[in-house]
Structure 1
Amino acid sequence: MALPFLPGNTFQDPTRRKYHVSQSLGYKNGYALADRPEVGIGGDPLTVNHLTEEEINELNNKRPTLTYGQAKQAPPEDFVPAHVAFDKKVLKFDGYYKQTVHESPNEYFRVRPVVIFYYLEDDSISVVEPHVENSGMPQGKLIKRQRLPKNDQGDHWHWKDLNLDKTLTFYGKVFHVVGCDQWTAEFMASEGIELSSPSTIPPDPYIESRKQKAALKEFKTPSDFDKLKQFIELDRQVLRFYCIWDDRNNMFGELRPYIIQYYLVDDTVEICECHEPNDGRDPFPIFLRRQRLPKDRNNVESSFPSVVMELSNNEIKEWFAPKDFMIGETVVIYHRHFLIYDCDEFTRSYLYQKFGIKDFTPLDVKRQDRNGANKTDLPPYNGFGSLEDSLQSCLSLVPQPPKKDFIKMLENDHKILRFEAEMDSVKPEDRGRRFIISYRLADDMITIFEPPVRNSGNVSGKFLERTRVTKPTSTPEHPQFYGPQDLYIGARIQVFSHRFKIMDADDYVLRYLEARKDDFPGCEKTIESIRTLRGATGGASMKTSVKGAPMKVQRSPGDLQALLREVKTQLKKNNYINFSSLTDAFLQYDRNRSGTIDLNELKKVCHKQNLPLDDDVMQALINECGVDQNGQISHAGFMKFLTWD
């Protein structure tokens, strides 16, 4: 039995011989692994429970349950290190790089294929070039297995950065990836990375030349169609195509016509410029001199020293041929787009015999030129002045006054269509306000006048100066003005945020529109509304009375004589007639002092003396007074009629 651990009770065990600490650090496959010791100093067993960190966290987070206890959790998965999970798993990519050759007259560059290995175990990369027998170049491992830096920030290349048809830079050398093996494609797909389409390694020019030299010699009989025969058979035969160059996308550009001439004798092309009278261009007949025309002048090898050498016929890969010039096709010649829209008769026969083309329908390009080339974009209306005034400032540097239709102004001078309207407003104080709308036919302007009404509280007079009134649905760029066809009985018009309802119109409006139906399309509605208001159904017209003018009402048979007697009675009763004034008026119109006046002059006399006599009452009055054979009325007869009991 051990003694208590107190001062004076300690002693050294003479049987102990080991005092070293147990080893807790080891290596496996070159990696350091930490382990918990199982024995203490001297080999004594440790009685303390060794709990892992996961078990300690589980005990700390344990919560008791009431009914069935804590649910059994799934055992934690065992940790698998990367060197175990990805052991012997390598991604393989095929690629190549170009090596420039400076001191060889037979080659400019070499294409050297490589294999890129990516080790998933530790994200290391190695690059290996396959061995080729008798190549004369050192081959094998170009970059040994290591983690390759990606940039200057300390990042390294990862398998997520690899893909097909992609350029990789390792230590300043550029590699182009073209393919991979099946296992690599399946691994990348399982990780959600979509690979690009694979490509092939371009051939090495020097290797191809060596293969051609080593191949068996083959001889071909030359064709019987030589240059001399081409010159003899195709001399003076030219294909002519009509085209246009659309340069409207550039500033001051336009549609310009040209003629493309293809010479069959030597396959050369010439472009001629078509001039028009007063087109403002210098009279140069040739736009492009006669020459062989390459399709793509820039499609040359990258190793070609374009800085010190010009292109020759050996570097051009493809030339323009007659099959490239067809109606409706756009030909790009030195970055200019030419649209071919027609050709001549010889060209049509040649294309039919050579290529079997039957459709030679020309394109309509003149209509496009007329509508598009001269189009001018006008700025929006700024609201100052009328639309015509603002438009004149855009058409010339020094604005000119807008042109007026003087013939229309002379024909319609002092011709005004008057309408009676009522304000259509939600305000109670504006309801019932009467206005007179005057439409001037000479310049299509509208004037609105409000007659004075006593104790109305509104300032009467001119409500709107003469101006052209636009419809509310029109735009400032495309205005639509009110016309006679829009002014009919019951119509509601909007004049600068004020709405008016037309209630009546004068007789001149009806007579004018009936006589000129063809000049105002759509005025039938206005004519019909006025006829309906007047009651024009074939009988006598019912007209409203106007203050200060004779009453015009339809008489019933037999009441005309009673009306005459009533008029005479009222005149005598009110002492309305001033005989001296009537005599002066008669003498004013009776210039020859014959004692008689004309019927029209009699009407003027009555109106001057404020006698409210209608036409039918005036006719009855004349019949009572008596008319001589010359159609004259005597002064004595008229005065006798008024004084007769």
Structure 2
Amino acid sequence: MSVNTAHGLPFLPGNTFRDITRSAFHRSQTLGYKNGYALPRRPTVGIGQQALLSEHLIQSEINQLLTQTPILGYGTATDRPPLDFIPAHVAYDKKVLRFYGYFQQEVHHSPDERYRVRPVEICYYVEDDSMCVMEPEVENSGLPQGKLLKRHRLPKGQQGELYHWKDLNVAMDLRVYGTVYRITHCDPFTQEFMESQGIVLNDPEPTPSDPYTCGRRKPQLTFITPSDYDGFRQFLTMDRKVLRFFALLDDSASLYGEKRPVVMQYYLVDDSLDIREVQQPNSGRDPFPLLLRRQRLPKNIKAAGQTFPSCVLEVSKHEVEEYYSPKDFRVGEELRLMGKCFLLYDCDEFTRKYYEEHHPDIVLKPLPVDENPQEDCKMVIPPYNGFGSLEDSVQNCLSLVPEPPKKDLIKLLENDHKVLRYAARLDSQSPQDEGRRFILSYFLANDMVSIFETSKRNSGIIGGKFLEKTRIPKPGSTINNPEYYSPADFAIGATVEVFRHRFVLTDADQYVLTYLESVSEQDHIPEQTLSSLRRALRPGGHADLNHTREQPSDPTADEGVPASS
């Protein structure tokens, strides 16, 4: 707001007042364009359309300012033309002071680095005293780079002061929003501008290198004279030649330790070694394929410096003085590999011949090993518990995840819809069971039997299905190893016991005799069974079975049965 003072009063608190009705505070335009050219012009009014201070001067004061010239101590005074007025945003347009620097970013929770050095460019726009901070973008750096601080006037402190170009210099710290930027140098235009304004710049500083970037640089290539050893000749002569040793891993020093048998294989083609553990059945150990993978084992390693950690396992071939060779493996002696003790007690025949030819000075001393013979544990199937079929119960004992029992698919396809039907009567001492007639159907596809009772008028017994399709065990067979009825057991006049019910076969279908005669040699059908069927199936001799066909029959028994001749 504008502040007015009373005429003749000093500019002190209480002698001023503000115009609270004022609402315009904009500055008048001092730059215009005509036909694309910028034309500066002097302001005619002040801020908020107020009159300029020069308009309050009287004419005599204006004439005095125009005619008054400075008094020179020497020379003659010359009249100079008035300078053209140029606005600040025109005079300093596109003039940018550029400083170069860096800041350190702390890295937490990393054992490889503690901080990173990130270079930046600080641009100062003289036109409006604004600044911006930019970081050069590096491809695949993984860091958010580019413009870190957008262009605006940066605060200098907590009192509300702002940075000015007079506050900037080389080799100084610039603290902005809690980040300290170290200015190292500037470009030639900035140096010339600062020196023209009377500011002496400090000496430039080098930007420190980033330790993480230096650590990722590839080391300088070094050349090592190759060995004159002919590895190709070794490959051609020693390929597929392996020395095999039988040893015991002595782990008795540890808690619950024991001696475990292992097999060492030394490959002559590349002087490598692997160790395989001999798996014992039911040992309770995980079946690992290898105890030590195939590799060359160093025997002597060059001594490293005191500062080098001794727990590093990755050893290059240039640090190894000597590797294990066949002369180090002596049967009958102990060998220490990778901190473990192995007792070599024997080897194979090829290994003995190799040592006799190439190392005759090494004496092989096989040692006897006490081997505890293991008893063969046979799997005993528990007795049948009565739930489900016997085959389903056995599957629970054979595998952890039981599978359905396998079926004879060829038998199912060849004997599909083939049924042998017999007429039977119930052998019972009860007078109520007198005259009851049944049809016994034997299914050749799955060896199951179903029984159907024929209806008889005024008998008081409802006919229908007497027994579902199931396999019938013979009397006297055990539960765990049952013996089921087959077509060879169904002779005319024979007694069939079905779950404590006795049935006497009285007749059969003509298809039964035809089928049994065709398979008598393969299935070893007794001649007694065939003779009883021939006697019963003489002309007019199967009246009982024909009589039963007039009654309602079991639909499952007649399905797919060939017609009797």
Higher relative contact order (CA 8 A, sep 6+): 2
Same fold (TM over 0.5): no
Q: Which has the higher strand share?
A: 2
TM-score of the pair, normalised by structure 2: 0.33
Q: Which has the higher helix share?
A: 1
